[in-house]
A = this chain, B = another copy of it.
Amino acid sequence: MKDHQPAAQQAGRPILQGVSLRGGAGGGRVALLDAAGRDELATIGTLTRFPRGAILQAEGEKISAIFNITEGLVKTYRLTEDGKRHVLAFLFPGDLVGLYEDYRYLNTAEAVNTVTAYRLPIAALEKLLERDPALNLAFLSKACHDLRQTQRHEIMLARREARQRLLMFLNMLAPQASAIAGNPQGAVLSLPMRRLEIADYLGLSPEAVSRGLHALVREGKLRLHGLHQIEVLDRGDLAALTG
């Protein structure tokens, strides 16, 4: 009986998280908007700063705005009924935060370290979307990209083995890596997140994450520089399992 309503009203205007607005040069991520489009979004945004632990949005909350990260790292997660926390994604500078459906956020987004982001009020964004069909299509394209990313994450979780999960995780971070002098094969990854956060992302215990990383060190594949810098000695090893 609802068949005669326009589809949009029933499903409630969802918007995606994890959309990247960065230029292609950022490595790995795909540019979605041209420069003009990004400027367009920037005009309606106001720069905001979040300390570690700040909640950008809470699961189930009415939406007010979405964010375009310019600096820092954000994690999105959902809590299960038995109190566990599952991290769905880490979002980097250039990514959009704000997946919602029926005008409520679908998951919680929290700053992992100090984050700065453009706050885009939802009303303004909607107005923009109405005017610009290309922007709409951009969102649809990115929806698929996100979905694919989530599927990949899902597959990683299904095939157990902690070791593989860790390697895939490092591989995921590879695009963010900076090259290292003297070793063309190597790269330095920065892991701003805590071990527990990695564990919640990989479906492991923090102990397993720690053990796994140190096992890789013992095998000579990694070197740790403090807790948040990892030097990858042979990038070929991880590249093998992009799935």
Contact = CB atoms under 8 A, between A and B. Distances in A.
Given A136-B136, A144-B101, A159 B82 contact: yes
Contact of A241 (B14, B81, B142): B81
A6 interface: yes
A150 interface: yes
Interface string A125-161: 0000000011011111111111110110111011110
B137 A8 contact: yes
A12 interface: yes
Nearest to A106: B148
A30 B7 CA distance: 10
Contacts of A107: 151
A155 to B, nearest CB: 5
What is the oligomeric copy number? 2
Interface in A1-30: 1-8, 10-16, 23-25, 30
Contacts of A101: 144-145, 148
B34 A4 contact: yes
A91 to B, nearest CB: 14
Contact of A31 (B2, B16, B34, B78): B2
A175 interface: no
A163 interface: no
Contacts of A243: 78, 80-81
A145 to B, nearest CB: 7
A37 interface: yes
A223 interface: no
A203 interface: yes
A233 B78 CA distance: 30
A7 B32 contact: yes
Interface string A48-63: 0000000000000000
8 contacts: A3-B31, A4-B35, A12-B141, A78-B151, A80-B243, A153-B154, A157-B158, A157-B203
Interface of A: 1-8, 10-16, 23-25, 30-35, 37, 78, 80-82, 84, 86, 88, 99, 101, 106-107, 133-134, 136-148, 150-151, 153-155, 157-160, 203, 240-241, 243
